[in-house]
Amino acid sequence: MLTAFARAFKTPDLRKKLLFTLGIIVLYRLGSHIPVPGVSYKNVQICVDSMGTSNSLFGLVNMFSGGALLQITIFALGIMPYITASIILQLLTVVIPKLENLKKEGQSGTAKITQYTRYLTVALAILQGTGLVATARTGALFGSCPVAREIVPNHSIFTTVVMVITMTAGTCVVMWLGELITDRGIGNGMSILMFISIAAGFVGALWTIKLQGKIAGGWVEFGVVILVGLAMVALVVFVEQAQRRIPVQYAKRMIGRRAYGGTSTYIPLKVNQAGVIPVIFASSLLYIPALIVQFSGSQAGWATWIQKHFVKGDHPYYIAAYFLLIVFFAFFYVAISFNPEEVADNMKKYGGFIPGIRAGRPTAEYLSYVLNRITWPGSLYLGLIALVPTMALAGFGANQNFPFGGTSILIIVGVGLETVKQIESQLQQRNYEGFLR
């Protein structure tokens, strides 16, 4: 593998792409440490040191921003507005016929949908930036920190507007950097930036577990977490690569003196067809009750019940709701992202059929049957992976950003595999051995 890395850097055009990607990553991480104008950097550091960079309410966004959210930097919102906008557009494509027609137009339609995604990203960045500034001004961002209300010393409208504009511009820059990596670098730019944001907190999270450990100076807990992490990575790699291949045969057609078709191929259906989307949906939905209680400040019975069962994240009610929501969203997302009837119609149009299955409606019913069967283990696997941080919370006193579980491990392994495959394919085009042997 090290030899393959050396060969990749010896190839001039591939070396330029790798160095360009590394340069963009450095710029991205640099922007994650530049504070927003109007923020007291000293008070922010006091709160971060006293409470840590984990916050059960803002943990997901903070993880996607590489810890920049709670530092209130110019890249505080990170890539999250773009991810949210992309998911919303993808869901609306199923509902709005105009977007569905644009998707079918090919490259021109995809370009228009991408443009709509950018506009929606800016709107969401303004909304989320305003919410973050309001939360920081009221002191709710760090809760019981003694200087939480002094993070934003100046509460004037001008200062607030400047902070929101700065964070919105930072989101636009992050979006632009991601597109630059996609066009001129290696891999999908947005995925690479997401990968870097999550990986940036790995070392700190592992060292925190070591410092909080009580057996042999924390090294026993540290070693157990590393072993669990390796097992989780192996499980994720195994399931993410697993797929059901449905054979497809194309009939031979004679046009003039030439024969067309007659080839055999397959439809790859992944076990985890939904990816990490169900975990993000479930986490975001379970944050809403806690956010409502925090911003309302109510002490009513319903607010007390939510604080008791849903805020800490380790209550059996929370665990059960989290698991069931992940399973539900896995089936929901697969249902809207893969249309068996459309696939069956396209196969029938080009003379394709599944051996032993009649073309048309029987093919669509067979695809739906297979998809439902493989989605069950995929959804249960997602629920199991997502519950690892909760078990770590109870066993090691870790936080919701436990390094080897949930959203983080799924994204890191998935993006890592896809990026390595892209580099490997470019190496094989030049008659070199790839990374995966």
Residue 426 lies in a domain: no
- What's the number of CA atoms in the CB half-sphere (13 Å) around residue 305? 4
**Is 38 within a domain?**
yes
* Residue 164's pLDDT band (cuts 50, 70, 90): very high
Domain contains 424: no
Q: Considering 151, 167, 195, which residue would you say is the last residue of a domain? A: 195
Please give the residue that has the higher pLDDT: either 341 or 398. 341
Per the prediction, the chain carries an average pLDDT of: 81
Q: Token pair of 297, please?
A: 């400040």
Residue 97 has pLDDT above 50, yes or no: yes
pLDDT interval class at 120 (50, 70, 90): very high
Number of domains in the chain: 2
Same domain, 220 and 108: no
Which pLDDT score is estimated for 328? 92
State whether 279 and 227 are in the same domain. Answer: yes
Least confident of 230-234, 342-346, 398-402: 398-402
- Residue carrying structure tokens 């989605």: 375
- Tens-digit pLDDT profile for residues 121-156: 999 999 988 988 888 888 777 767 777 788 888 888
Is 223 found in the same domain as 178? no
| pLDDT at residue 175, as a whole number | 92
423 lies in a domain?
A: no
Residues 182 and 232 in one domain: no
pLDDT of 322 higher than 60: yes
Local confidence band at 55 (pLDDT 50, 70, 90 cut-offs): very low
162 and 19 within one domain: yes
Kindly state whether residue 94 falls inside one of the protein's structural domains. Answer: yes
Predicted local distance difference test score (pLDDT) of residue 59 = 64
If phi > 0 it is left, if psi is from -120 to 50 it is alpha, else beta; for residue 11 that is: beta
130 and 191: one domain?
yes
Predicted confidence at residue 307, as pLDDT, reads 73
Q: Is residue 414 part of a domain?
A: no
Rounded-to-integer distance, Cα 230 and Cα 211, Å: 21
Q: Are residues 218 and 168 in the same domain?
A: no
Query: Do 86 and 123 belong to one domain?
Result: yes
Is a pLDDT exceeding 90 seen at residue 169?
yes
Q: Same domain for 126 and 260?
A: no
372 vs 349, residue with greater confidence? 372
167, 195, 223 — which closes off a domain?
A: 195
Q: For 167-175, what is the mean pLDDT?
A: 93
Asked whether the beta carbons of 31 and 38 are under 8 A apart, the reply is no
Q: Where are the alpha helices (DSSP H) in 32-156?
A: 41-51, 59-64, 68-71, 80-95, 97-104, 107-138
Boundary-marking domain end, from 195, 217, 233: 195
Q: Are residues 150 and 215 in the same domain?
A: no
- Residue 241: inside a domain: yes
172 pLDDT above the threshold of 90: yes
Report percent pLDDT > 70 for the chain.
84
Decide if pLDDT at 434 tops 80: no
pLDDT at 119: 93
Question: pLDDT band for position 428 (50/70/90)?
Answer: confident
Tens-place pLDDT, residues 74-89: 998 888 889 888 888 8
Question: Does residue 412 lie in a domain region?
Answer: no
Between 28 and 350, the higher pLDDT residue: 28
CATH code for position 257: 1.10.3370.10
Number of H helices, E strands in the chain: 19, 5
Mean pLDDT of 177-203: 86
- Categorize the per-residue pLDDT at 366 as very low, low, confident or very high, splitting at 50, 70 and 90: very high
Query: What predicted TM-score, i.e. pTM, was given to this entire model?
Result: 0.80
pLDDT in tens, 8-19: 777 788 888 889
SS (H, E, C) 359-428: CCHHHHHHHHHHHHHHHHHHHHHHHHHHCHHHHHHHHHCCCCCCCCCHHHHHHHHHHHHHHHHHHHHHHH
Q: Do 157 and 276 have their domain in common?
A: no
Domain that holds residue 13: 1-195
Task: Give the pLDDT score at 53.
Answer: 46
278-304 b/e (C-beta count within 10 Å ≥ 16 → b):
bbbbbbeebbebbeebbeeeeeeeebe
CA distance 403 to 201: 8
pLDDT score of 171:
93
Q: What are 263-320's pLDDT values in tens digits? A: 788 888 998 888 888 888 887 788 777 777 766 666 777 777 777 777 666 677 888 8
In this prediction, residue 142 carries a pLDDT of 76
Tell me, yes or no, whether 223 and 181 share the same domain. no
Q: What percent of the chain has pLDDT over 90?
A: 15
Mean pLDDT over residues 315-333, rounded?
A: 87
